[in-house]
Structure 1
């Protein structure tokens, strides 16, 4: 009996040692809108595989510039499909590794209950001083917000009220802090566990802007990193997809 327990303990120790030996750390560039779900996914990924994902959050356009200038990211989770495709065309990725990990939703949001109506009529009605949007040059959600204003014929009317964030995270902070009464943010920033976390919101109809298809791709620096491939596969697994969906993304 004692020898059997010893053999079992030895086997468990060898298994643990093997897992540790193969554990790795990877550098991941993540679009700011995907901050909350990716933090949860990374924690589950570490628990399930032993690999650790070091996450950097920011604007997709800025990540593109950093990657082209030699930033050591091994995996990119973009806020669009164009940037990973462009990097692929430029030979900066692992061929065949690009895939759509989520489809984002844009929302007009205010922390004030009742300010934003369910049809977004507040944009025409007015009664606010500042409207926050992300930079359309570097943030796909900002480009989508500008497209919505143009489709509604309000781009010129509201131009003087726009407050522009460097990325969608800063845009959210403008609104959450009260520096802007309302703003176009990612649904995932104000949505959790299948409900609005607070305030008032208009879920922008998808037909008012180009689809926010968010693609991931393994970068050239991750070519020989099994952990990069493991995280890419994990993002397509049931556990990660359940987390992604709970933040309001479509799959």
Structure 2
């Protein structure tokens, strides 16, 4: 009797799960810096194709860890090229599907208009207010922030006043809520911020390694036409125009080699 009840319960659960997943939708793992842009892209994708992309956000490192542990993502939009390449190497992604969909830009930002005029001067003066960065181990923008401070020989002097977010979204939130005087964030986040007033220093790209954000088709979706349609859509000029509007650089000829 108990065995019969268990089978019924399993059948009901399977039916519920099948109803939650529609044939015309995919689940996309999205790096946190790309949150606002991806929402606009998902809406445009639906308008263009009739398909739906459901988005799940997080730091690139944590999303990759979820993929390793079997998370049901179809596509991975990372904020670096290392983890999509690693996914290919480990059989988690389809070889040859990887390409650069955006090139990120790092800025030093404060919502206060009088916080600083020149970011390098601000950092060298070492104010007592905390400085927000994303975790360099899991977030590519956090790594770029560390590289910037190291290039300026300021990494050690800032250690006690750094507040680290799990993702670039949390680092941005620390600054927006006043828990940090300024922070290294993505230009795309500042572009989406509703208040145009503030202090922004575009970090010279010579101070950090290029932030090549790559997309890759995950193995579980290798035969999913909607997932492939999403990746093809990302390469289209309408999608690239949305990406540029959020402050990213793009190259329609981008491929796995950058």
TM-score normalised to structure 1 length: 0.88
Alignment of 1:216 onto 2:215 = yes
Alignment of 1:77-116 (within 5 A): 77-116=77-116
CA contact (8 A) 2:141 2:186 kept: yes
Alpha-carbon distance in structure 1 between the residues aligned to 2:205 and 2:23 = 41
Question: What is the deviation of 1:197?
Answer: 3.2
Alpha-carbon distance in structure 1 between the residues aligned to 2:23 and 2:240 = 23
Question: What is the deviation of 1:120?
Answer: 2.7
- Cα pair distance change 1:225/1:244, threshold 3 Å: same
Alpha-carbon distance in structure 1 between the residues aligned to 2:189 and 2:24 = 29
SS in 1 for 2:157: coil
Alignment of 1:22-61 (within 5 A): 24-61=24-61
Alpha-carbon distance in structure 2 between the residues aligned to 1:72 and 1:37 = 22
CA contact (8 A) 2:111 2:197 kept: yes
Question: What is the deviation of 1:196?
Answer: 8.4
Partner residue, 1:10:
none
Question: What is the deviation of 1:84?
Answer: 0.1
Alpha-carbon distance in structure 1 between the residues aligned to 2:72 and 2:190 = 31
Unaligned runs of 5+ in 1: 1-21
CA-to-partner distance for each residue in 1:164-192, whole Å, 9 max, x for gaps?
00000000000000000100000000015
Partner residue, 1:152:
152
Partner residue, 2:246:
247
SS in 2 for 1:191: helix
CA contact (8 A) 1:218 1:228 kept: yes
Question: What is the deviation of 1:114?
Answer: 2.2
CA contact (8 A) 1:23 1:50 kept: no
CA-to-partner distance for each residue in 1:79-123, whole Å, 9 max, x for gaps?
000000000011111121100000000000000002132443100
Partner residue, 2:205:
206
Alpha-carbon distance in structure 2 between the residues aligned to 1:226 and 1:247 = 28
Alpha-carbon distance in structure 2 between the residues aligned to 1:164 and 1:182 = 12
SS in 2 for 1:198: coil
**Aligned pairs, how many?**
229
SS in 1 for 2:120: coil
SS in 1 for 2:112: coil
TM-score normalised to structure 2 length: 0.86
Question: Alignment RMSD, CA only?
Answer: 1.6
CA contact (8 A) 1:191 1:247 kept: yes
Unaligned runs of 5+ in 2: 1-21, 251-258
Question: What is the deviation of 1:125?
Answer: 1.6
Question: What is the deviation of 1:129?
Answer: 1.4
